[in-house]
Amino acid sequence: MTLEKPTTGGEGAAAPARASAHRILPPPVTGQEFVLVGVIAVLWILLGIFTPAFLSPSSIQPLLVSVAPIALIGVGMTFIIITAGIDVSVGGAIMLCAVITAKLLVTYDVPLLVAVLLSIGIGIVLGVINGMLIAYGRVHAIIITFGTANIFQFLALRVFGSSTVNGIPSTLEVFGRGEAGRTFGVPHSFAITIIAVALAWWYLRHTSGGRHLFAIGGNTQAARLAGIKVQPRVVLAYGLTGALVGLAACFFIASGTSTLDQSIGSGRELAVIAAVVIGGTSILGGRGSVIGTLLGAVLVQTVTSGVTQLGWPSQLANLFVGVFIIIAVGTDLLRERARKTS
């Protein structure tokens, strides 16, 4: 012990050794999240100054409604990316869950609970298929999910049958943009998302299952040798994402019109991944937070609705999303580098 001290040397060695007795977990809220809160606050203040309508409930409520599905799926995607995986099939999965649920609502007029549970059930099946192929087929996640994305889209288009789904009843309006979708001014879909984020935060930070996910992402081989059942954990992460996709599909139906067209879900996988990486989750695995993902989704949606309200071309929003991804990940990279060299 005394011999080791000079070799590890420097001020860095002694301090963590003392602190580690008290702090095994990372701090509950990380630096990236404070930065995001700051950026969102600055944006909201600026938008409030330039477009006075922005800080009114009639502008914030729709913003939160559109944040909800992205952040909700983002929770699952954070789990997956923490295990060093990725799921690019969520766009196709949203489409399939949404079209089946919408058809059921139109044809059989099923009650709310049945519709939601069915949608979640379908989502779980799709997610577990992904998870099984990735965990037991030992193929890189991006390849498998590119493949299943095509198959999910195919199935969804078959259900669509080359037309839109029309005349969807207002069963799901409790998740929608309207008056029925709010309690005390808070959209239900956003409240559900907050609860999901809180539960996921607790699971990732304070249960052995959650810590196992980080271990798998950090080093799969080491995790396996430490006795973690890697494959069931990975399947769980994809299955959870599937369940959340099912719920989010209901949000998408509710926040749209009574017509569901075939563009539903298209491109959403990239929006979700963007929210996750802006939130500070490392795409290499082993590091990430669901609170960051929620903030990332809020940031992306703020930019999108801010650009429209400023009267700029709405397509400009994506340019800012791209720039924010680069800034968010770039500052994280620079911090990491500083941490290593110090």
Partner 1 sequence: MSTTATAPAPRRNLFSRGLEALLTQRIVLLAVLIVLVLAVMMSLDAAGQLSGSYNADYLASSLISAVPLAILGLAQLLVILSGRGGIDLSVGSIVSLTGIFFGLAYGTWGWSFFSSLVLAIIVGGVCGAINGALVSYIGFPPLIATLATYYAFRSLALVISDQKPINSPEIQEFYSAAQSIELPVIGGTLPLIPLGIFTFLIPCVVIVWLVLNKTTFGRRLYAIGTNDVAAAWSGINVKPNRMAVYVLSGVLAGLVAVVTVAQFASARPDAGTSGNGMALPAITIAVLGGVAITGGIGRVSGIVLATLLIVWLNAGILLALPGNDGSQFQLLALGLVLIFASLLNGITKRRYGGL
If one asks whether residue 317 binds partner 1 (CB under 8 A), the answer comes out as yes
- Burial classification of residue 278, based on how many CB atoms lie within 10 Å of its CB (0-12 exposed, 13-18 middle, 19 or more buried): buried
How does DSSP assign 172-217, residue by residue?
A: GGGGSSSGGGEETTEEHHHHHHHHHHHHHHHHHHHSHHHHHHHHHH
CB closer to partner 1 out of 231 and 258 = 231
If one asks whether residue 86 binds partner 1 (CB under 8 A), the answer comes out as yes
Minimum distance of partner 1 from residue 336's CB (angstroms): 9
If one asks whether residue 274 binds partner 1 (CB under 8 A), the answer comes out as yes
Cβ neighbors of 139 (< 8 A, separation 6 or more) are: 133
Minimum distance of partner 1 from residue 87's CB (angstroms): 13
Type of residue at 18: R
Minimum distance of partner 1 from residue 199's CB (angstroms): 27
Q: Which of 9, 111, 137, 209 binds partner 1 (CB under 8 A)?
A: 137
If one asks whether residue 255 binds partner 1 (CB under 8 A), the answer comes out as no
If one asks whether residue 202 binds partner 1 (CB under 8 A), the answer comes out as no
How does DSSP assign 295-340, residue by residue?
A: HHHHHHHHHHHHHHHTTS-TTHHHHHHHHHHHHHHHHHHHHHHHHH
Let me know: does 251 contact 68? Beta carbons within 8 Å.
yes
If one asks whether residue 150 binds partner 1 (CB under 8 A), the answer comes out as yes
If one asks whether residue 95 binds partner 1 (CB under 8 A), the answer comes out as no
Q: Which of 206, 273, 301, 342 binds partner 1 (CB under 8 A)?
A: 273
Residues in a beta bridge with 165: 260
Cβ neighbors of 194 (< 8 A, separation 6 or more) are: 294
Contacts with partner 1, residue ranges (CB under 8 A): 86, 88, 133, 137-140, 142-144, 146-151, 153-154, 157-158, 162, 266, 270, 273-274, 277, 283-284, 313, 315-319, 321-323, 325-326, 329-330, 333, 337
